[in-house]
Chains A and B, each alone.
Chain A
Amino acid sequence: MHIDQTERRYIIFALLLVGAFGIAIAISSSAYSINVVRPESQIDPKLLTTPGATAYDGFAEPPENRLRELSPGRYEAYIIGYATKGWIWEPEELRVPAGSEVTFYVTSADVTHGFIIQNTNVNMMVLPGQVSKLTTTFDTPGTYNFICHEYCGILHHNMYGQLIVE
């Protein structure tokens, strides 16, 4: 089979790229324990806020208690996206001290949402029935907006909250 020389070069280049990415994934996975994003767990969206009904008891706390301090400088936040309550994140505001490491557990009670915190690497798809989890550190004081970036209905553009780093 004849392959043009230019085409052949591009094929080899593409294969080398695939190989390089494979090596990068292998090194980051084995040496640095970096895993690709995957669903944390499954959960019944109808029982999210029922105490003791799911493995994620943080969702059953009142919204003002859904940011919990694990240890000094380390927090976990349980956030639920609602379209049926008027396109909101619950809780809508979180406050942590600068330098805090926060693990976000995010889920949806109704439809598919997207969760992104501006100026950070937190960017997740939020599906009903599934818990998405990501951890990040907030070193710089300021206000970080978290918004829905997957169209979820007529007032999708109103769906945002704030994480305030003090």
Chain B
Amino acid sequence: MLPVRNSSLVGSVEKTPSLDWRRILTISLYTFLTLATVGIVSFAVFRPILVLPRIRLSPGFVMSDQTGSPITSETFRGQLTFYTFSYSGCDEASICPQTTADIQRLTTHLETLETGSLDIGVATILLNPNPVDPADLSLTIESDQVKWQALQGDSLRNKYVVGQGFQVYYSEEVIGLSESDRIPFAPRIVLVDGLGIIRAEYRSSQPDLAVITRDVELLVKEAESSGRLSKIGYEAAHLFVCYP
């Protein structure tokens, strides 16, 4: 007959309850992993913070502006800049992909947006093969609140800045009698943030203004939420592709 094992028979001997650390650690680990997974998935699915993607760095450049003064990409640091592309004499919509009127439409819309302390500007890179004399420049944008600047450089510099940097195609083979008659190019508007990072590309000369408004508001909100804690949230949004 087997002996009966019954602790109650032991009598009045009391054991001090000892903590099972291994079990506690295991439960803690699984709890942490579960919460982390649920948190990450929820963040990615519900997208509580929306950001514009950081597409790539905007190219650095030295060019001259509409007055003939030198201007560099650093001039645009700290402000939102919409880069547009055109050429002097690009006025007729029938032959020109992005006319002065298109750029004026964008600029006029930007005037209506609330950007807080963040400045906003428009820069038009001229694709003319040779720099145009400022006195002969037939491209002017009128605006009281949005700073507009025309940028121009020599042919090779233009090709590297526009083609390689902004990845905008344009042909160096000018069609027409004079050099500014027609320059085929892909209409494009590029939004660059204050850190010099390309945040949006609009493959149209007349993008949806509601989308422009949304994108500017997102960038303004991100710039205003640069505190330590909220910055972590925004970095997480970039990591989990919380793009609109």
Chain A residues near B241 (CB-CB < 8 A): 35, 38
Min CB distance A132 to B, Å, is: 15
Minimum CB distance partner of B55 in chain A: A33
0/1 interface trace, chain A 52-67, chain B, CB 8 Å (1 if under): 0001111000000000
Chain A residues near B97 (CB-CB < 8 A): 57
Chain A residues near B167 (CB-CB < 8 A): 70, 74, 76, 103
Q: Are A58 and B169 in contact (CB under 8 A)?
A: yes
0/1 interface trace, chain A 69-80, chain B, CB 8 Å (1 if under): 111101010000
Q: Are A71 and B239 in contact (CB under 8 A)?
A: no
Knowing A26-B239, A57-B186, say if A72 contacts B203 (CB, 8 Å): no
Q: Are B203 and A71 in contact (CB under 8 A)?
A: no
Chain A residues near B159 (CB-CB < 8 A): 71-72
Q: Is A24's beta carbon under 8 Å from chain B?
A: no
B54 in complex: contacting residue of A15, A33, A41, A69, CB < 8 Å: A33
Q: Are B169 and A70 in contact (CB under 8 A)?
A: yes
Q: Is A68's beta carbon under 8 Å from chain B?
A: yes
Chain B residues near A70 (CB-CB < 8 A): 163-164, 167-169
Interface residues on B, range: 20 to 34
Q: Is B113's beta carbon under 8 Å from chain A?
A: no
Q: Is A29's beta carbon under 8 Å from chain B?
A: yes
Min CB distance B57 to A, Å, is: 9
Min CB distance A13 to B, Å, is: 14
Minimum CB distance partner of A103 in chain B: B167
Chain A residues near B204 (CB-CB < 8 A): 55
Min CB distance A104 to B, Å, is: 13
Most chain B CB neighbours (cut-off 10 Å) among A30, A57, A69: A57
Knowing A33-B54, A58-B186, say if A76 contacts B239 (CB, 8 Å): no
Min CB distance A140 to B, Å, is: 22
Minimum CB distance partner of A57 in chain B: B186
CA distance A57 to B169 in the complex (A): 10
Q: Is B33's beta carbon under 8 Å from chain A?
A: yes
CA distance A30 to B186 in the complex (A): 31
0/1 interface trace, chain B 173-212, chain A, CB 8 Å (1 if under): 0000000000000110000000000000001100000000
Chain B residues near A72 (CB-CB < 8 A): 159-160
Min CB distance A5 to B, Å, is: 13
CA distance A76 to B186 in the complex (A): 12
CA distance A26 to B167 in the complex (A): 27
CA distance A157 to B41 in the complex (A): 41
CB-CB contacts below 8 Å: B187-244 with A: 187, 203-204, 235, 238-239, 241
Min CB distance A42 to B, Å, is: 12
Min CB distance A75 to B, Å, is: 9
Min CB distance B99 to A, Å, is: 13
Minimum CB distance partner of B54 in chain A: A33
Minimum CB distance partner of B169 in chain A: A68
Chain A residues near B239 (CB-CB < 8 A): 26, 29-30
Jot down 7 A-B pairs with beta carbons below 8 A, ordered by A.
A41-B203, A55-B203, A55-B204, A57-B203, A71-B159, A72-B160, A103-B167
Given A57-B186, A70-B169, A74-B167, 9 new contacts (CB under 8 A): A29-B239, A30-B235, A30-B238, A35-B241, A70-B168, A71-B162, A74-B163, A74-B164, A76-B167
